[in-house]
Amino acid sequence: MILRQFLPPEMTNMITKYIRAAGWSTVLMLAGMSASQATLIDRGGGLIYDDVLNVTWLQDAGYVESSGYASSGSLTWNEAVNWASSLAYTDTATGVIYDDWRLPSTINNPSSLGYDTTGLSSELAYMYFINLGYAPNYSHDRFAPAPTSDAYNPFINLSTRAYWSGTLSDNPNRAWLVHFHFGSQETNALNDGLKVWAVRDGDVAGMVSAPSVPEPGTMGLLAATLALGAGFRRRRNRA
């Protein structure tokens, strides 16, 4: 998360909790931003940066298979969490090794179920609907054509199957997913094998160069989260 570049760890952790509680849609609204502002930037070395969510994705959406880790390309939820958290990926352009990967996050709320075309309930939904510009397939027909769009798509080995989120549902035996054939956001039993796509917070460009002044959009997001945190603090003190 971009906050880690500018704030002490304890404040970053506090604000992160507020963001998860309020939801990214609230934070983006307070920052004067919208889901349509996303830009995918190829940083080279197999890394793609999203300049709105401020996260970096593996360019290879099937790296768990192409790296030889799992021949099927699918893992149970616990296997997927362990794989992402232990992944040490070498940026082939710079030689830098990144070992702070995770699974994409979802807002754990019943409203996240279904087809969130705003993309604001999860990083995977944001990828599907906003970054890649795919349309929802409400028929949920597995024989329907794979989704396509004219949007910029720098990724390779992107499956049209379901991808795990790292977020558990209220049922501890199920976790969230987004199905990349239909765009549907659902929960699934942890023991099923689904596709896995690793993401990390921040921009790798900032890891190999001197820190830069935040862009206006970043400053807006930072200000919004600080304001949100202050609001939660005041509410808690009055309780």
One domain, residues 168 and 185: yes
One domain, residues 65 and 160: yes
One domain, residues 117 and 22: no
One domain, residues 181 and 89: yes
Domain count, the chain: 2
List the domain range (segments joined by +) for residue 100.
Answer: 38-206
Q: How far is CA 1 from CA 67, 136, 188, 230, in A?
A: 26, 28, 27, 19
List, for residues 22-55, the tens digit of each pLDDT value: 445 445 544 444 554 458 999 999 999 999 999 9
Please tell me what DSSP assigns to residue 126.
I
One domain, residues 108 and 222: no
Q: List 57's β-bridge partners, or say none.
A: 48, 199
pTM of the model: 0.75
Q: Is 10 exposed, middle or buried (0-12, 13-18, 19+ CB in 10 A)?
A: exposed
pLDDT of 39: 86
One domain, residues 118 and 235: no
Q: Which residue has the higher pLDDT, 183 or 223?
A: 183
